[in-house]
């Protein structure tokens, strides 16, 4: 299960299962979004792609991403308490001819960088010197969401071009552009670009907020996105569904609280 080619379809399956139960209970979202792998779950919920196609694709996605860079060559690190501009400057100064790039812009307080191991290590040191609250290397198997993933992107693009995509039934806010994709080809292109592109999660959440959304439901294992929501906008409600207990708590709130978008 720790191999990413197995982890990715497993997480997708749990996420889609949780969404299907909510759907059967009459809970209908007005937007969908997913963090990295979660964008595939969002597209299954929006009926852009079928569940079976998504499962096969994310298994290959994990395999391609793992094989794109030899083990030990790449790394990722979390930078806490530093602005995006400051992190981008750190990456530029740390690169020294190698790759060091912002990978996950998770919240105003948390940005993950990715690239060659030595460059990322230099980035961690520079961030600490320049006032970051924390800068720590992450225990990951590959440097995701940076230009080192180009071989994986090229292989995945071939698979995605073969799949049947439909126009999403609800807008899906894509990671790369933090904008809704509302047609089949835009959805496909965003999933291709996502492999090497940054996950612009903070802006992806701010978009539905700007359009009046007050309540978010995280589906799938864990509550990481609800934690990030507290850093992005504490005034918004974030619920989660990952098991029976969390399902019942979420349904109770959605069905008995005053109606909120």
Q: Confidence class of residue 230 from pLDDT cuts 50, 70 and 90? A: very high
Catalytic residues: 36, 145
Assess whether pLDDT exceeds 70 at residue 192: yes
The mean pLDDT value for 205-227 works out to 97
Mean pLDDT of the chain: 96
Expressed as residue numbers, the domain containing 80 is 72-140
pLDDT at residue 176 tops 80: yes
CA end-to-end span of the chain, whole Å? 37
Written as six digits, the tokens of 235 are 């005034």
Residue 261 lies in a domain: no
The answer as to whether 56 is a domain residue is yes
Please say whether the beta carbons of 158 and 57 come within 8 A. Answer: no
**Are 48 and 77 found together in one domain?**
no
CATH number of the domain enclosing 24: 3.40.366.10
The answer as to whether 146 is a domain residue is no
Same domain, 181 and 232: yes
Burial class (CB in 10 A: 0-12, 13-18, 19+), 31: buried
Of 140, 160, 181, the last residue of a domain is 140
Are residues 40 and 165 part of one domain? yes
Q: Examine the domain organization and report whether 57 and 158 are in the same domain.
A: yes
Residues 168 and 252 in one domain: yes
User: Are 135 and 160 within one domain?
Assistant: no
Residue 54 · residue 15 · CB < 8 Å? no
Q: Which residues contact 72 (CB under 8 A, 6 or more apart)?
A: 117
- Whether residues 63 and 124 share a domain: the answer is no
**Percent of all residues in the chain with a pLDDT value above 70, rounded to a whole number:** 98
Q: Are residues 59 and 171 in the same domain?
A: yes
pLDDT in tens, 16-30: 999 999 999 999 999
What is the pairing mode between strands 100-107 and 172-173? Answer: unpaired
Residues 245, 120 share a domain: no
Residues 43, 159 within the same domain: yes
Which CATH number is 91's domain given?
A: 3.30.70.250
pLDDT confidence of 47, banded at 50, 70, 90?
A: very high
The reply to whether 228 and 155 lie within a common domain is: yes
Q: Which of 173, 181, 175 is nearest to 194 (CA)?
A: 175
Q: Is the pTM of this model over 0.85?
A: yes
Task: Indicate whether 163 and 240 sit together in one domain.
Answer: yes
Exposed/middle/buried for residue 73 (C-beta within 10 Å: 0-12, 13-18, 19+): middle
User: Total structural domains in the chain?
Assistant: 2
Write down which residue in 140, 168, 187 finishes a domain: 140
Q: What is the pLDDT of residues 231-260, one digit of tens each?
A: 999 999 999 999 999 999 999 999 887 655
pLDDT tens-digit series, residues 65-110: 999 999 889 999 999 999 999 999 999 999 999 999 999 999 999 9
């Amino acid at each position: 299960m720790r191999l990413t080619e197995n982890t990715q379809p497993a997480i997708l399956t749990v996420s889609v299962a949780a969404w299907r139960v909510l759907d059967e209970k009459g809970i209908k979202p007005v937007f969908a979004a997913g963090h990295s792998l979660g964008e595939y779950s969002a597209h299954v919920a929006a009926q852009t792609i079928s569940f079976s196609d998504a499962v096969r694709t994310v298994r290959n996605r994990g395999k391609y991403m793992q094989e794109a860079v030899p083990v030990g060559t790449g790394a990722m690190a979390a930078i806490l308490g530093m602005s995006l501009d400051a992190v981008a400057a750190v990456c530029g100064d740390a690169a020294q001819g190698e790759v060091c790039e912002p990978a996950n812009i998770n919240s105003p307080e948390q940005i993950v960088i990715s690239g060659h191991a030595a460059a990322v290590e230099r980035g961690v040191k520079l961030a600490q010197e320049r006032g970051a609250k924390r800068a720590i290397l992450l225990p990951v198997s590959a440097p995701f969401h940076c230009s080192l993933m180009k071989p994986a992107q090229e292989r995945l693009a071939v698979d995605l071009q073969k799949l049947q995509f439909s126009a999403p039934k609800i807008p899906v806010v894509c990671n790369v552009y933090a904008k809704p994709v509302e047609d089949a080809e835009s959805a496909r292109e965003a999933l291709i670009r996502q492999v090497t592109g940054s996950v612009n999660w903070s802006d992806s959440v701010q978009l539905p907020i700007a359009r009046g959304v007050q309540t978010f439901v995280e589906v799938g294992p864990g509550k990481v996105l609800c934690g990030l929501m507290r850093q992005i906008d504490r005034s918004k409600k974030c619920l989660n569904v990952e098991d029976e207990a969390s399902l019942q708590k979420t349904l109770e709130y959605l069905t008995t609280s005053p109606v909120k978008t």
